[in-house]
């Protein structure tokens, strides 16, 4: 595997984790790390940490957590300040964090790194080799992720809006609906077994929704439900959220029984057909 392929895999993994685990305990841990601790650890190592697998040594685990903390575990003002750091490595990490977490806040100052000369060392797990990579090449790959991240966030907002509209349209008591939050959003997709390329239009969007509503027994309570939406933006599964998400990713006809039994109104034939529920 080439260094370019390794970098690409690393950044794809980071983007996914940044979106899927924004509220995780790991993010909270990284966000609460003293910024001086992060800078000192990475400066002492003086090399960029790429993806690591398997058992990590204590040193490797510390380097990974500090590097990832700058990529998606800090606030914008911290990253913006660190971008002016004299250490090229710290500046590069800060730029990556802004690209991945605050892409809308990028400005001309940050983009100057795309023209910066020099290299940084790359830490390779399990070896004593520290190959160098041009700063502009790594920064360029970070910057290319911005358009994808913006698209993914827009898609997430579309999915969340669609779920709220679904509830308002089909609930027995829509005026009692209160949107509290959406959490744990992620996207499943099918990949070709030989090429590993994603199969077109195979996406399934999954998100937990916390809301209040008056149920069909007349009580207003808070509920948590897992919604799964297909690539055509049709609801295919709604189930009560439990400790662990079910293994069901895709199903046809849609499984909406739990929601309609508890909150939904009676559907006419046209509506059943639109939802894919006709026999």
Per DSSP, the three-state class of 67 is helix
Do 12 and 123 share a domain, yes or no?
A: yes
Query: Quick one: 88 exposed, middle or buried, by C-beta within 10 A (0-12, 13-18, 19+)?
Result: middle
pLDDT, tens digit (0-9, with 9 covering 90-100), for 18-63: 333 344 576 777 778 888 988 898 888 888 876 666 677 777 778 7
Residue range 89-112: average pLDDT? 92
Peptide bond into 253 cis (omega under 30): yes
Q: Which two tokens stand for residue 62?
A: 């510390």
**155 within a domain of the structure (yes/no):** no
- Do 203 and 188 touch, CB atoms closer than 8 A? yes
pLDDT, tens digit (0-9, with 9 covering 90-100), for 222-262: 999 999 999 888 999 999 877 566 666 667 889 999 999 99
CA distance 98 to 139: 11
- Do 96 and 106 touch, CB atoms closer than 8 A? no
Total domains in the chain come to 2
Do 106 and 234 share a domain, yes or no?
A: no
Do 48 and 109 share a domain, yes or no?
A: yes
Residue span of the structural domain in which 199 resides: 171-275
- Do 159 and 205 touch, CB atoms closer than 8 A? yes
More confident residue, 3 or 72: 72
pLDDT, tens digit (0-9, with 9 covering 90-100), for 119-177: 988 877 666 677 888 999 999 988 988 888 888 888 999 999 999 999 999 999 999 99
């Amino acid at each position: 595997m080439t260094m370019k392929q390794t970098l690409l895999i690393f950044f794809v993994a980071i983007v996914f984790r940044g979106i899927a685990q924004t509220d995780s305990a790991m993010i909270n841990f990284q966000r609460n790390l003293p910024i001086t601790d992060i800078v000192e650890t990475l400066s002492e190592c003086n090399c960029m940490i790429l993806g690591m697998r398997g058992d990590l040594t204590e040193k490797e685990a510390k380097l990974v957590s500090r590097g990832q903390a700058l990529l998606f575990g800090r606030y914008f003002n911290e990253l913006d300040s660190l971008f002016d750091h004299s250490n090229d490595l710290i500046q590069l990490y800060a730029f990556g964090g802004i690209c991945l977490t605050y892409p809308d806040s990028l400005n001309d100052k940050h983009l100057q790194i795309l023209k910066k000369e020099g290299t940084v060392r790359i830490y390779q797990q399990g070896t004593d080799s520290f190959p160098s990579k041009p700063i502009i090449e790594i920064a360029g790959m970070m910057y290319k992720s911005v358009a994808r991240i913006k698209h993914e966030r827009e898609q997430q907002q579309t999915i969340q809006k669609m779920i709220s509209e679904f509830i308002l349209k089909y609930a027995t008591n829509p005026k009692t609906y209160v949107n509290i939050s959406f959490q744990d959003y992620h996207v499943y997709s099918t990949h070709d077994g030989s090429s590993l390329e994603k199969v077109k239009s195979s996406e399934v969007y999954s998100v937990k929704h916390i809301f209040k509503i008056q149920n069909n027994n007349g009580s207003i309570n808070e509920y948590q439900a897992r919604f799964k939406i297909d690539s055509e933006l049709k609801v295919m599964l709604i189930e009560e959220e439990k400790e662990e998400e079910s293994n069901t990713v895709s199903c046809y006809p849609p499984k909406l029984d739990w929601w309609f039994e508890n909150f939904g109104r009676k559907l006419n034939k046209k509506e059943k057909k639109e939802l894919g529920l006709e026999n």
